[in-house]
Structure 1
Amino acid sequence: MQTKLDHPLDVPSLAARAGLSERSFYRKFLAATGETPARFIESARLDAARMLLSRGAPLKSVAAQVGLTPPVRLTEAFRRRFGVTPALFRETQLGI
Structure 2
Amino acid sequence: MRLLLAEDNRELAHWLEKALVQNGFAVDCVFDGLAADHLLHSEMYALAVLDINMPGMDGLEVVQRLRKRGQTLPVLLLTARSAVADRVKGLNVGSRGY
Structures share fold, TM-score greater than 0.5: no
Report which of the two has the higher share of helix.
Answer: 1
Q: TM-score, normalised by structure 1?
A: 0.29
Largest Rg, 1 or 2 = 1
Q: TM-score, normalised by structure 2?
A: 0.29
Report which of the two has the higher share of strand.
Answer: 2
